[in-house]
Amino acid sequence: MSSVDPDATAIGLSVLRKGGNAVDAAVATAAALGVTEPYSAGIGGGGYFVYYDAKTRKVQTLDGRETAPAAMPHDAFINPATGTPYRFTPELVTSGVSVGVPGTPATWQSALDRWGTLSLGKALAPAAKLAANGFVVDKTFRSQTLDNATRFAAIVPTAKLFLPNGDAPLVGSTFKNPELAKTYELIGRKGLAAFYTGPLAQEMQNVVQNPPKTPGTTLPVMPGHLTTADLAAYKLLKQDPTKVSYRGLDVYGMAPSSSGGTTVGEALNILATKELSKETTTQALHLYLESSALAFADRAAYVGDPAFTNVPTKELLSKGFGAERACLIDPEKAAVKPVLAGSPDGSYTPCEAGTIADDRPDNEGLSTTHLTTADRWGNVVAYTLTIEQTGGSGITVPGRGFLLNNELTDFSTVYNPTDPNRIEPLKRPRSSMSPTIVLKHGKPFLALGSPGGSTIITTVLQTLTNRVDRGMSLPKSIAAPRASQRNTPNVTAEPAFIEAYDAGLKPLGHNLVLAGDALTSAAEIGAATAIEFLPYGAFVAAAEPSRRGGGAAGTVHQIWSE
Q: Dihedral of the CA atoms 181, 36, 157, 102 (nearest 10)?
A: -80
- pLDDT of 549 reads 81
Distance CA 394, CA 409 (A): 13
Q: Comparing 421 with 353, which gets the higher pLDDT?
A: 421
- Residue 382: name the closest of 48, 95, 12 by CA: 48
The mean pLDDT of 454-463, rounded to a whole number, is: 97
Kindly report, residue by residue over 153-163, the tens digit of the pLDDT: 999 999 999 99
Has domain 238-362+433-553 been given CATH number 3.10.20.340?
Answer: no
Distance CA 233, CA 404 (A): 18
Confidence of residue 355 (pLDDT cuts 50, 70, 90): confident
pTM of the model: 0.95
Average pLDDT value for the chain = 94
Confidence of residue 519 (pLDDT cuts 50, 70, 90): very low
- pLDDT of 291 reads 98
- pLDDT of 557 reads 65
Report cis status (omega within 30 of 0) of the bond before 398: no
CA angle 498, 504, 509 (to 5 degrees): 90
Q: Comparing 402 with 358, which gets the higher pLDDT?
A: 402
- pLDDT of 448 reads 97
Kindly report, residue by residue over 125-155, the tens digit of the pLDDT: 999 999 999 999 999 999 999 999 999 999 9
Does residue 361 have a pLDDT over 70?
no
Based on C-alpha coordinates, what's the Rg of the chain? 22
Does residue 509 have a pLDDT over 60?
yes
Distance CA 36, CA 141 (A): 8
Other CB atoms within 10 A of residue 7 CB: 20
Q: Start-end ranges of CATH 1.10.246.130 in the chain?
A: 238-362+433-553
CA-to-CA separations, 198 to 142, 201, 235, 307, 477, in angstroms, rounded: 34, 6, 17, 29, 47
Question: Do 526 and 547 contact (CB within 8 A), yes or no?
Answer: yes
Residues classed as catalytic: 368
Cα dihedral sign for 520, 521, 525, 527? Answer: negative
Kindly report, residue by residue over 330-343, the tens digit of the pLDDT: 999 999 999 999 99
Does residue 365 have a pLDDT over 80?
no
Kindly report, residue by residue over 255-306, the tens digit of the pLDDT: 999 999 999 999 999 999 999 999 999 999 999 999 999 999 999 999 999 9
- Residue 96: name the closest of 430, 396, 344 by CA: 396
Confidence of residue 33 (pLDDT cuts 50, 70, 90): very high
